[in-house]
Amino acid sequence: MNTESNSYTFLFAALMVLVVASTLAFTASSLKTKQDENVRKEKMQSILKTIGINTSRDGAEELYIKHIKEEFSLDQKGNIDDSVSAFSIKLIREIKKPISDQRFPVFIAEVKDERYYVIPLRGAGLWDAIWGYVALRDDKNTIEGIIFDHKGETAGLGAEISQQWFQDLFKEEKLFDIQGNLVGINVSKTNNDPKNLDKDDHEVDAISGATITGDGVSDMILERMRHYLPYFNKLDI
């Protein structure tokens, strides 16, 4: 067989593309339900973790139903829009819509009679997207817990934002200053409080070598929380 002829080359290429494409398409579609299930349970797991409940992925669903009392999505003006399920909102798609079409999910959790507001976050790190969830106490100001994850930050540097020690720095930090303005949390390289004892300074210590990821975290918190101001203002009246 002449493997150098044009017709053989074309035939080989066509056959190869067919075989590879159908193998990959078959694998992807037959594994899809299992994969989606993993993603869904991981989301529940993440939301639970912000309110201090650590669970395995398999146990997440049960605890989620137990602790998450309400889920709803808000429009730009802070009104609840019942037509959109909060859990199914994917911020990756949502933030690309015009602001008036965007919906902002809120999860209300209850642990030992304490009420928490869990809000999903999404922003940009150095290489790719970063995201997370923040749980606020009933004053809608103090952070009860926060978690971050990332797609492609550098291991050992930016990727450290998904580590417990970094997320613990945010605990009990305040989002609003005394005048009630939203200032967010600054991941700061010039933090005067490296032991993080001052919980009212709106600052946490940055990670060396991960300046841009840290700035991304600060920006993400401020940007996402801004959209919830109308809702919080309504609650306070």
Partner 1 sequence: MSKESNKSINKKKSSLLFINKEREPLFSKKNRVLLTDPLDDNNPITVQVLGICSALAITVQLEPAVVMSLSVVAVMGASNVIVSLLRNLIPNRIRIIVQLVVVASMVVLVDQILKAYAYDVYKELSIFIGLIITNCIVMGRLEAFALGNNVWRSFLDGIGNAAGYGLILIVVAFFRELFGSGKLYGFQVIPESVYDLGYENNGLMLLSPMALIIVGIYIWFQRSKNRKLIEKN
Neighbours of 203 (CB within 10 A): 20
Judged by beta carbon, residue 102 or residue 167, the one nearer partner 1 is 167
Say which amino acid occupies 46.
S
The whole-angstrom separation of Cα 62 and Cα 100 is 34
How near is the Cβ of 48 to partner 1 at its closest, in Å? 16
The whole-angstrom separation of Cα 8 and Cα 163 is 54
Binding site for partner 1 (CB under 8 A): 3-4, 8-9, 12-13, 16-17, 20, 23-24, 27-28, 31, 34-35, 38, 42, 57, 151-152, 154-157, 208-209
How near is the Cβ of 208 to partner 1 at its closest, in Å? 5
How near is the Cβ of 128 to partner 1 at its closest, in Å? 8
Judged by beta carbon, residue 180 or residue 209, the one nearer partner 1 is 209
The whole-angstrom separation of Cα 73 and Cα 184 is 22
Separation in Å, CA 57 to CA 43, 48, 116, 165? 9, 11, 21, 21
How near is the Cβ of 37 to partner 1 at its closest, in Å? 9
How near is the Cβ of 125 to partner 1 at its closest, in Å? 12
Say which amino acid occupies 129.
A
Judged by beta carbon, residue 37 or residue 177, the one nearer partner 1 is 37
The whole-angstrom separation of Cα 88 and Cα 168 is 28
Token pair for 54: 């650590």
Residue in 93, 170, 87 with CA at minimum distance from that of residue 134: 170
Residues in a beta bridge with 205: 188
Judged by beta carbon, residue 16 or residue 235, the one nearer partner 1 is 16
Judged by beta carbon, residue 6 or residue 179, the one nearer partner 1 is 6
How near is the Cβ of 157 to partner 1 at its closest, in Å? 6
Judged by beta carbon, residue 128 or residue 198, the one nearer partner 1 is 128
Pairing outcome for strands 104-111 and 80-81: unpaired
